[in-house]
Amino acid sequence: MPIVVVNWNRCSGKGTCVEVCPVSVFELQELREHPETLKAVPTKMDECSLCMKCVPVCVEGAITVKKDHTS
């Protein structure tokens, strides 16, 4: 199963990853630890197709996608 990690300290909450993901892995949510803005949360990691479209559109470089827990 793919591992999708978002660095919430870098995430600006613009939602470009939400828009480009063809399988809706991400949702913008308010996090208690980061109340200043919504953050991209990978709520459906098991749906990730490893297309990697989210990585280059995140100008903050907040998203990392790995093939599995060993990569």
Is the pLDDT higher at 71 or at 2? Answer: 2
Architecture of domain 3-64: 2-Layer Sandwich (3.30)
- Which of 20, 28, 26, 24 has its CA nearest to residue 53? 20
> And the tokens for 43?
């709520």
- Kindly list the domain boundaries of the chain, sorted by start residue: 3-64
pLDDT tens for 5-62 read 999 999 999 999 999 999 999 999 999 999 999 999 999 999 999 999 999 999 999 9
Q: Which of the four pLDDT bands, split at 50, 70 and 90, describes residue 2? A: very high
State pTM to two decimals.
0.90
Query: How far apart are alpha carbons 1 and 35 in whole angstroms?
Result: 30
